[in-house]
A and B are shown apart, each in its own frame.
Chain A
Amino acid sequence: METQKEQPGVNTQNQANDIKADSGLIVLKNVTRKFPGAAGIVLDDITLSIEKGKTTVVIGPSGCGKTVLLKHMIVLQRPTLGEVFFKGRRIDNLDEEELNSVRAHFGYLFQGGALFDSLSVAENIMFPVKQHCRITRFSAVEELVRNKLRMVGLDGLQNFYPANLSGGQRKRVALARAIALDPEVILYDEPTTGLDPIRSDTINELILKLERELGVTSIAVTHDMKSAYKIADRIVMLHNGKIIADGNADYIHNHSDPVVQQFIKGEISKKELEQLQKTSASNSIHLPCDTRD
């Protein structure tokens, strides 16, 4: 393991102002996202530059704004303050029509797959192709669908509907759909959540394969540290809407911040543990009714 040192991707407040729009494939500059009500500020002055052809993994506790950050990269959500750039062009202020042409460069794997229930597996994968290409030969599209399904190990399921697939299969079909247009960037929202360890590893290998074979830039949001260490060229940790650590796997592994260490080790803090034990010991709550026979 490397010793802890300053990483080129780490953004302190001073460095944030120095990041240029064309310093990475995707650049978020001082992005703040505020939601009305209890959610409040979810992203707090985030500055991040995503390098082309690399895999960046965003980690952090539930509700810290990881998915919101991912959605800002493709402008599915617009920042309250700040700017988003893709290939040096500002995209957060584009109208929907202009954004649609930018989004054709992206593939997005949603947490639950987000497959269209009313369409078959083949139709789901064909969807982005039909939207962006003038199809002259239907057999070529069928071949493309077969090829993408072969990549995710699901050839033969073309005529199945999402309801007939398992969670892992749905995720892999969603991945096949995300890569249908051979995108330059793939955004993964919790790619391994809800999958068994073997299926998780299959997804990890697929992400690595896409990086190797297609040279895609990947950004993955995950809680799964095993997956993060395996696929990441760079790991960014979000906490309370701010980036608190940013560097390669070794840097994150040896980070001195106790919040980072607690998260990567997946351990409850001593204070929280004490509180939990105290609460369960002193408040043995009885049901306010007679128990059934």
Chain B
Amino acid sequence: MIGTATTGSIKRVGDIGQFGRFVWRSTVTSLHSITRPENYPLIWAQMLLIGVRSVPVIMITGAFVGMTLAVQAYDQLAGMGLEEHLGVLINISVVKELGPVLSAVMLAGRIGGALTAELGTMNVTEQIDAIESMGTDPVKYLVTPRVLACLLLTPVLIIYADLLGITGGWFVSVVQLNINAKAYWSFSASGVELWDVACGVIKGFFFGGAIAVISCYKGFHCREGARGVGQACTEAFVLSFILILVLDFALVVIFKSLYSIFWPLRSLV
């Protein structure tokens, strides 16, 4: 019993070490690749698959988040006679929290699953070995373009989600619930700062990087057979989701501290 637990612990530590090495190698090769124009075609191709083709789902996610928030919060605020403040509540929730997190979760499902399944299948059909046997670094050829595409385009996709969330919230609040448009935007402008938008967008870099690295790692190390690939996809999504939540919490704490340092008085308001 103790022996099994010890072996399990050693294996887990080994896995973490292997993941750490993979992250380090991906980071180094990504930094190297971004300075080499000959790698750009591979990065553009992944940007199309990962970024451009995710725009519709991200826009739908953002729009429904904004609309749902408006419907949910209206009754409470109207009960206190504060319905004109609905814009602040919706927009700050969308740009700071719900837009980035829900977009990242959506991307983890759409992109993460696809990346793990693609690389996992390449792994079990020896295509990754084939790349290596031809003297090409598979991390550089397969992982780097995907990591860079996710890293660079997740923040852009979050901006799309924010825009549609704001539009969705405005549509329900002003058009459906007849809140005064001028007051709606005026309160929103006074409550939402550029800092809030920036926090959401910066989160996108971390979320995108986490999704790409975890998905690629799981694809590279999946077990043989259809079951192995399926399991790797599930593990990649679950791990990405957990890491998104953990990173979100950590980043919120960091951003709050930074805000207090740079604008000590404003944080008291």
Q: In the complex, what residues of A have CB within 8 A of residue B125's CB?
A: 112, 114
A71 CA to B129 CA in the complex, in Å? 9
- Would you give the 0/1 interface string for B114-129, flagging 1 where the beta carbon is closer than 8 Å to chain A? 0000000110011101
Across-interface contacts of A229 in B (CB, < 8 A): none
B176 to chain A, nearest CB (A): 46
Q: Is the CB of B133 within 8 A of A106?
A: yes
The residue from B122, B126, B135 contacting A103, defined by CB atoms under 8 A apart: B135
Chain A residue, CB-CB nearest to B25: A96
Q: Are B130 and A100 in contact (CB under 8 A)?
A: no
Which residues from A are CB-within-8-Å of B135? 99-104, 128, 131-132
Question: A76 within 8 Å of B by Cβ?
Answer: yes
Instruction: Give chain B nearest CB distance to A259 CB in angstroms.
Output: 29
In this assembly, does A74 line the interface, its C-beta being within 8 Å of a C-beta of chain B? yes
State the CA gap A104–B137 with chains docked (Å): 12
Inter-chain contact A114/B129, CB cutoff 8 Å = yes
- Those of B122-156 within 8 Å (CB) of chain A: 122, 125-127, 129-130, 132-137
| Beta-carbon nearest neighbor of B121 in chain A | A117
Are B137 and A76 touching (Cβ within 8 A)? no
- Beta-carbon contact of A100 and B133 below 8 Å: no
Minimal beta-carbon separation of B135 from chain A (angstroms)? 4
Residues of B within 8 A of A74 (CB): 133
The answer on a CB contact under 8 Å between A111 and B126 is yes
User: Chain B's nearest CB lies how many Å from the CB of A179?
Assistant: 12
Q: In whole angstroms, how far apart are the Cα atoms of A111 and B130 in the complex?
A: 11
Q: Give complex CA distance A117, B127 in Å.
A: 9
Categorize the interface residue count of chain B. Answer: 10 to 19
Which of the residues A71, A96, A117, A127 comes within 8 Å of B134, measured between beta carbons? A127
Minimum CB–CB distance from B1 to chain A (whole Å) comes to: 19
Q: How large is the interface on A (under 10, 10 to 19, 20 to 34, 35 or more residues)?
A: 20 to 34
Check: A97 CB closer than 8 A to any chain B CB. Answer: yes
B205-219 interface with A by 8 A CB criterion: none
Distance between B14 CB and nearest chain A CB, rounded to angstroms: 10
**Docked pose: A112 CA to B132 CA in angstroms:** 16
> What distance in Å separates the Cβ of A97 from its nearest Cβ neighbour in chain B?
7
- A99-132 interface mask toward B, CB cutoff 8 Å, 1 = contact, 0 = none? 1111110101011101111000000000110011
| B129 contacts A100, C-beta separation under 8 Å | no
Which single member of B121, B129, B136, B137 contacts A110 (CB below 8 Å)?
Answer: B129
Q: Contacts of B133 on A, CB cut-off 8 Å?
A: 74, 76, 103, 106, 108, 110, 187
Q: Which residues of B contact A110 (CB under 8 A)?
A: 126, 129-130, 133
User: Which chain A residues (125-165) contact chain B, with CB distance < 8 Å?
Assistant: 127-128, 131-132
B130: contacting residue among A96, A97, A99, A108, CB under 8 A: A108
Q: How far is the CA of A104 from the CA of B132 in the complex (A)?
A: 10
Point out the residues of chain B lying under 8 angstroms from A102, CB to CB: 135
Contact assessment for A100 and B137 in the assembled complex, using a CB-CB cutoff below 8 Å:
yes
Closest to B139 in A: A96
> A71–B126 Cα gap in the complex (Å)?
12
**Complex contacts, A96 vs chain B, CB 8 Å:** 137
Interface string of A10-23 (1 = CB under 8 A from B): 00000000000000
CB-based nearest A residue for B133? A108
A97 contact set on B, CB distance < 8 A: 137
User: Which B residues are within 8 Å of any A CB, using their own CB?
Assistant: 121-122, 125-127, 129-130, 132-137
A: which residues have CB within 8 A of B? 71, 74, 76, 96-97, 99-104, 106, 108, 110-112, 114-117, 127-128, 131-132, 181, 187
List of 3 A-B pairs having minimum Cβ-Cβ separation, nearest first: A114-B130, A103-B135, A108-B133
What are 21 A-B contacts with C-beta separation under 8 Å? A71-B129, A76-B132, A97-B137, A99-B135, A100-B136, A101-B135, A102-B135, A104-B134, A108-B129, A110-B126, A110-B133, A112-B125, A114-B125, A117-B127, A127-B134, A128-B134, A131-B135, A131-B136, A132-B135, A181-B134, A187-B133
